[in-house]
Structures are given as C-alpha cells and as structure tokens.
Amino acid sequence: MNNDIFKLNRNVFNTPLEVGLRVLNILNELKSVPIDINRLIIYDYFVLHANDFNENYESLHPAIPHRTGEIIIKRKIIQEGIQLMYAKDLIDIKYTENGIYYSANELTSAFLNYFDSTYETELIKNAQIVINEFKYYSEQKLSEYVNDNLSNWGSEFSRESLIRTWLDEY
C-alpha cells in the first residue's frame, strides 16, 4: 500500500489550498458581492460550525473544545488562501477607501464546477445559510454578535468535564 496518498490527504488540512477553496465557495455564493477579510473569517468559521449560531444546523467539522480560537488564528492562513486563489485569477481583489474587499469572478464558478463531493455540497449549503443569516449585519453588529457568543462556542466540553469531575467525586 502506498502511504504517500495518506500523507498528501493529511497535509492538505488547514493549508492555504484547503482554506482557499472554502473561500472560493463562500465568495461564489455571495454572487460577486465583495466582502472584507473580517467578514470572510467569520463566515468561514460559521460555514464549518453552523451549529454554533443555530442548533438546527449541522456543522461540517466536529465541535472540538475551544474551537473559537480558529477565528483568531485563521487570518494569516485565509490571507494565504486568498493570495493563492488570486494568483490563479479565481477571485478579484478590490482596493477601496474603506479597505480591501474580495469577490468571486467569472472563473470562480467555472472552477468550482469541477468539484463534486458530499463535503462540497454541504459546504455550499452551509455557505448559503450563513450568508442568508448574516448578510444584513453591519460590520459592527457582526463583530458584537461574535464577541457576545465567543465564550459559549466550544465551552460545552469545559462544562462537561466539570460535571464528570463532580460525578466522579460523588
């Protein structure tokens, strides 16, 4: 058995390529509406962890403890993913007096049509849900929402460990 295949798959997780592909999907679902990196980081988090903002939705990734740290550490890797996709002409970057904005272009959708998997289908579904849920939030309101809820997301395991500790003692 060739173990190189497994190394390749393992080495794709949390790389600019993986994150860049998610960014492409999010931007594509925005239908060329440009967004800044802060909103993109939050949308990426919610696409992966949709259950955090609405318990009726299924998250794509497991609910690991302290997952909200992703919001803080993802900026650099998302920037690298954006640059990778921009280098391939798959997204547009707009420099404005209000900041830097990213959007899909005519190649984005054509490129994404080559992907066909259950994960991709669920990612698109979650991207649509996230966009519909938060598209009318101002930057300030979106930041406040995240800041107000950050301590709730990923802390369920902390509470569970406290309960288990308590049960073990009694």
Residue 61 covered by a domain:
yes
Of residues 91, 81, 89, the one with CA closest to residue 28 = 91
Q: What backbone phi and psi angles, to 5 degrees, belong to 95?
A: -100, 120
pLDDT digits 0-9 by tens, 50-84: 888 888 888 776 565 555 566 677 889 999 999 99
Q: What is the pLDDT of residue 10?
A: 56
Residue 141 covered by a domain:
no
pLDDT digits 0-9 by tens, 53-62: 888 888 776 5
Interval 114-141 mean pLDDT: 94
Sorting pLDDT into bands at 50, 70 and 90, what band is 111? very high
Please tell me the least confidently modeled range out of 60-74, 81-95, 97-111. Answer: 60-74
Q: Which domain holds residue 158?
A: 4-136+149-169
Q: What is the pLDDT of residue 109?
A: 95
Give how many domains the chain has, as a whole number.
1
Residue 142 covered by a domain:
no
Contact indicator for 43, 124 with CB cutoff of 8 Å: no
Residue 22 covered by a domain:
yes
Count, residues in the chain:
170
Give the C-alpha separation, 141 to 137, whole Å. 6
Q: How far apart are the first and last CA of the chain?
A: 50
Ranges assigned E (strand) in the chain: 91-96, 99-104
Sorting pLDDT into bands at 50, 70 and 90, what band is 2? low
Number of helices followed by number of strands (H, E) in the chain: 9, 2
The residue written with tokens 């640059």 in the block is 83
Residue 131 covered by a domain:
yes
Alpha helices in the chain (DSSP H): 4-12, 16-29, 37-48, 50-53, 69-87, 106-112, 118-134, 139-149, 156-169
Residue 144 covered by a domain:
no
Query: Is 119's pLDDT higher than 50?
Result: yes
Residue 72 covered by a domain:
yes
